[in-house]
Amino acid sequence: MKWALISVWDKRGIVELARALAGHGVGILSSGGTGRLLREAGIGFTEVAAYTGSPEMMDGRVKTLHPRVHGGLLGRRGIDDPAMSEHGIHPIDLLVANLYPFEDMSATISDLAELTEYIDIGGPAMIRAAAKNFRNVAVVTSPADYGQVLDALAAGGFSQEQRFELAKKAFALTAAYDAAISNHFQRIGRDLPEIFSIQVRNGRRLRYGENPHQKGAVFGETGIAAAVPLQGKEMSYNNYLDLHAAAGLIREFDEPATVIVKHNNPCGVAVGNHVLEAYVRARDVDPVSAYGSVVAVNREVGLPLAEEICSTFVEVLAAPSFTPDALEAMERKENMRVLVLPGPVSGPEFRTIDGGLLLQETPPYREHWKVITDRDATPDELTALTLAWKVCKHTRSNTIIFADRQRTLGIGAGQMSRVDAAKIAIDKSLFSLVGSVVASDAFLPFPDTLEIAAAAGATALIQPGGSIRDAEVIAAANTLSMAMIFTGVRYFRH
Active site amino acids = 132, 263
Query: How far does Cα 471 stand from its chain's mean position?
Result: 43
What is the distance between the alpha carbons of residues 50 and 60, in angstroms, rounded to a whole number? 15
Give the residue from 309, 273, 250 showing the smallest Cα distance to 406.
273
Alpha helices in 122-255 (DSSP H): 122-132, 146-155, 160-187, 223-226, 237-250
| Contact assessment for residue 320 and residue 340, using Cβ atoms and an 8 Å cutoff | yes
CA distances from 190 to 88, 195, 360 (A): 49, 11, 14
One-letter identity of residue 80: D
| Contact assessment for residue 27 and residue 46, using Cβ atoms and an 8 Å cutoff | yes
Give the residue from 218, 267, 226, 248 showing the smallest Cα distance to 493.
248
Q: Spell 225-255 as b/e; 16+ CB within 10 A means b.
A: bebebebbeebbbbbbbbbbbbbbbbbbbee
What is the distance between the alpha carbons of residues 172 and 182, in angstroms, rounded to a whole number? 15
Q: Looking at the DSSP assignment, which residues form a beta bridge with residue 204?
A: 218
Cβ-based neighbours of 493, under 8 Å, separated by 6 or more? 393, 394, 395, 396, 397, 399, 441
- Which pairing describes strands 293-297 and 257-262: parallel, antiparallel, or unpaired? antiparallel
What are phi and psi for residue 140, nearest 5 degrees?
A: -120, 120
Cβ-based neighbours of 299, under 8 Å, separated by 6 or more? 256, 274, 275, 319, 320
| Contact assessment for residue 454 and residue 431, using Cβ atoms and an 8 Å cutoff | no
Q: Looking at the DSSP assignment, which residues form a beta bridge with residue 30?
A: 6, 47
Q: Phi-psi bin for 481: left (phi > 0), alpha (psi -120 to 50), beta?
A: left
Q: Phi-psi bin for 446: left (phi > 0), alpha (psi -120 to 50), beta?
A: beta
In 245-369, where do the E strands start and end?
257-262, 265-271, 293-297, 314-319, 337-340, 349-353, 356-360
| Contact assessment for residue 425 and residue 402, using Cβ atoms and an 8 Å cutoff | yes
What are phi and psi for residue 112, nearest 5 degrees?
A: -65, -40
Alpha helices in 251-395 (DSSP H): 275-285, 287-290, 303-310, 324-330, 379-392
